[in-house]
């Protein structure tokens, strides 16, 4: 397992140089929750699988993985790991995630320590704000971007 390189201070990681052509993805080891309650790595997903996803209003439900999803398990890429008190999400620097009080979509490379991101709270049935406590740069295998048929945001790594 790669050793994370911590980012310093409240500024975004400056040494990460995302390119506009970089795919917005997660590594093969990232996980999702299937409709049967089981946790599964992204590398095991297939079109038609039902996974936990968030609607635009933040409510959680299940959505179906589309055949348009990106999956390249043999790729090796640079990722950022954003850590909150309850979850660590690892994603490419260009991947967008809901951040701040308005759930504005922001690239992972633009998120700084202390900023809030929205993570799933299955107990509450919705997304909740959580401050980012740490950011690390890691290299990992696989590039996966599960798209859903009904437009839900897949809940990845918690």
Do the beta carbons of residue 46 and residue 54 sit within 8 Å? no
Q: Which residues of 64-95 are buried (b: 16+ CB within 10 A; e: fewer)?
A: bbeeebebeeebebebbbbbbeebebbbbbbb
Q: What is the pLDDT of residues 125-135, one digit of tens each?
A: 999 999 999 99
Write out pLDDT tens, residues 103-145: 899 999 999 999 999 999 988 899 999 999 999 999 999 999 9
Q: In which band, very low, low, confident or very high, does the pLDDT at 3 lie, cut at 50, 70 and 90?
A: very low
| pLDDT single digits (tens) 77-86 | 899 999 999 9
């Amino acid at each position: 397992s790669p050793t994370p390189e911590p980012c310093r201070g409240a500024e975004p990681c400056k040494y990460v140089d995302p390119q506009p052509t970089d795919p917005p993805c997660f590594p093969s080891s990232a996980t999702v929750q299937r409709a049967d309650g089981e946790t599964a790595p992204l590398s095991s997903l297939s079109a038609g699988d039902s996974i936990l996803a968030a609607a635009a209003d933040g409510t959680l439900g299940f959505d179906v993985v589309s055949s348009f999803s990106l999956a390249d398990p043999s790729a090796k890429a640079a990722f950022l790991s954003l850590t909150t008190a309850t979850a660590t999400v690892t994603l490419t620097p260009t991947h967008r995630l809901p951040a701040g009080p308005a759930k504005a979509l922001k690239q992972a490379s633009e998120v700084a320590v202390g900023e809030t991101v929205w993570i799933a709270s299955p107990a509450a049935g919705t997304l909740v704000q959580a401050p980012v406590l740490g950011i690390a740069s890691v290299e990992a295998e696989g590039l996966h971007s599960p798209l859903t048929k009904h437009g839900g945001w897949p809940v990845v790594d918690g």
